[in-house]
Amino acid sequence: MQYSELGNSGLKVSRLCLGTMTFGEQNSEAEAHAQLDYAIGQGVNFIDAAEMYPVPPRPQTQGLTEAYIGSWLKARGGRDKVIVATKVAGRSTELSYARPFAIHPDRRNIELAIDASLKRLQTDYIDLYQVHWPDRSTNFFGRLGYEHQPLADEVAIEDTLAALGDVVRTGKVRHVGISNETPWGAMRYLAIAEQRQLPRVVSIQNPYSLLNRVFEIGHAEIALREQMGLLAYSPLGMGALSGKYRHGARPAQGRLTRFDRFRRYSTPRGAAAVERYAQLAETHRLDLAQMALAFLLRQPFLTSVIVGATTLDQLAVNLGSIDLTLSETVVAGIEAVHAEDPNPCP
């Protein structure tokens, strides 16, 4: 395994992070524990979760992901050797069952959410606490164009960061991060932290894959210059870049088969790009998923790639990408495919 510093935190995190979004929906508690055991055995020390997980969110399953991680932490011990990240939800009507008032990243939500996450995780601190998505109306979750639509009740970044500062001061959180955030939002968090002596954001968790390289356009320079490295999620386009959906295949347990909410990764443009990448991998006798992950691991603005799986075999393939170094010929081939149709699945 390889490791990177998490922003300016002093923490060294594995370049591959275990994503746990499937725990409690597609994976049982026993399967979750098996994945955690295997990942730790391969040198992974970084685990990412969220209060809303598993996905798709449902009242019956909300919080199970953190609970499964918590039962594993209690059974295995060694909390100080694992870096645990989780998230507080942004503005949401979908999660109205989670709290007895409107869901926003404001003080009362953050105070309740952090205590609930700590209880489920069976720990007294969280290493990285992230705002899952912005409270304002902006372009995230597959939306490219920005339309200015100020909301009367939107929570100011100043207020969110002040509330996060309080949970850092209490010792419940060590460091803070952002997710699904825009370049403007990222810079506001940094500016406010400096102006008001509040916690400095150490990471940004946004989508990044061969099918979606939008991060390179506006975020990459910020990530490098401001020591706010990318935690890349959906690095395989919800499994599309494993190749299992090629030629119209729809495996019964596949995420794109089961859940309509991920359709942006199964468009005709996306399928065409996957096919070109698959042919490139075959030409060079590479596993498609490992090639896709190895390309991300080359990027200087990246801190860690969040890899998820529903089986141990899938997880083994994904973690094996850490040992793959792509030749310049393969990289040139990837860039040629990208140039033909950039970002088919933003």
- Catalytic residue positions? 53
103: which DSSP letter? B
Nearest of 292, 297, 295 to residue 317 by alpha carbon: 292
Q: Are 16 and 53 in contact (CB under 8 A)?
A: no
Distance in angstroms (rounded) separating the CA atoms of residues 69 and 86: 11
Question: What dihedral do alpha carbons 78, 84, 88, 89 form, nearest 10°?
Answer: -120
- Residue 13 has φ and ψ, to the nearest 5°, of -110, 150
Distance in angstroms (rounded) separating the CA atoms of residues 151 and 339: 37
> What is the amino acid identity at position 86?
T
Q: Is the dihedral of CA 218, 256, 51, 139 positive or negative?
A: positive
